């Protein structure tokens, strides 16, 4: 298994799947991508239990550690709108938004803590295989970066509703809808352009760049 996806939900998973196929410019890459958390059945479109709290429990579990060992790379996705529930501040003492880079760093630390709570130093041992996709403040903001002329970090689900022609694709939290919304990311230039507008998306794309040569080699074998 090349990529495993551990996310808050299935809409995040399908968006990341399209990003991976587009970034590595390999339309067949989806066959090497597996939904690990929540588990998703492509046949009957049923999903297992999702959400940020279930994701955090998964990271500390033996199932996560087995998944890491059986996967070349595992991508961990979470939205920063739940930062306060992790004990992380999104704003400074004056109530102003912290830089996305700071928020991503702080949440990454919390995810690593959860991983190591399951097994001491597990993250440090397997860090090259673990890729973080931390969205400030939601994955919808990455979609806004493509579909709008501007970027946004607040209320991005509602922003999407105002800029998407709902007669073409309805903005709804469903796998098929997000597959359509993220379809433009199957093209690499759309990813690069959107990452230039959204800082947290840029951080994720930079992390993919670090494994690009490895992925190319593995897909050629």
Q: What is the 8-class DSSP label of residue 91?
A: B
Are the beta carbons of 159 and 143 closer than 8 angstroms?
A: no
Q: Which domain holds residue 186?
A: 3-220
pLDDT of 188-209, one tens digit each? 999 999 999 999 999 999 999 9
- What string of pLDDT tens digits covers the 221 residues of the chain? 999 999 999 999 999 999 999 999 999 999 999 999 998 665 545 566 789 999 999 999 999 999 999 999 999 999 999 999 999 999 999 999 999 999 999 999 999 999 999 999 999 999 999 999 999 999 999 999 999 988 999 999 999 999 999 988 999 999 999 999 999 999 999 999 999 999 999 999 999 999 999 999 999 98
Residue 44 pLDDT? 47
Q: Per this entry, what is the length of the chain?
A: 221
Q: What domain count does the chain have?
A: 1
pLDDT of 144-177, one tens digit each? 999 998 899 999 999 999 999 998 899 999 999 9
- Confidence (pTM): 0.95
Which ranges of the chain does DSSP label H, i.e. alpha helix? 10-23, 52-59, 62-69, 100-118, 122-126, 139-147, 156-163, 175-181, 188-197, 199-209, 212-220
Give the Cβ contact number of residue 218 at 10 Å.
Answer: 13
């Amino acid at each position: 298994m090349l990529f495993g996806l551990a996310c808050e939900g299935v809409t995040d998973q399908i968006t990341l799947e399209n990003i991976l196929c587009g970034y590595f410019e390999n339309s067949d890459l989806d066959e090497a991508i597996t939904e690990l958390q929540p588990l998703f059945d492509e046949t009957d479109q049923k999903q297992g239990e999702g959400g940020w709290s279930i994701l955090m429990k998964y990271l500390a579990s033996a199932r996560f550690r087995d998944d890491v060992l059986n996967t070349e790379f595992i991508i961990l996705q979470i939205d920063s709108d739940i930062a306060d529930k992790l004990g992380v501040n999104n704003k400074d003492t004056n109530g102003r938004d912290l830089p996305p880079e700071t928020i991503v760093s702080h949440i990454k630390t919390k995810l690593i803590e959860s991983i190591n709570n399951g097994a001491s130093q597990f993250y440090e041992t397997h860090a090259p295989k673990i890729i973080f996709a931390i969205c400030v403040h939601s994955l919808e903001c990455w979609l806004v970066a493509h579909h709008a002329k501007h970027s946004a970090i607040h209320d991005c689900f509602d922003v999407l509703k105002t800029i998407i022609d709902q007669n073409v694709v309805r903005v709804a939290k469903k796998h098929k809808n997000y597959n359509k919304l993220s379809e433009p990311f199957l093209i690499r230039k759309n990813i690069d352009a959107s990452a230039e507008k959204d800082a947290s998306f840029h951080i994720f794309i930079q992390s993919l760049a670090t494994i690009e040569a490895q992925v190319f080699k593995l897909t050629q074998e």
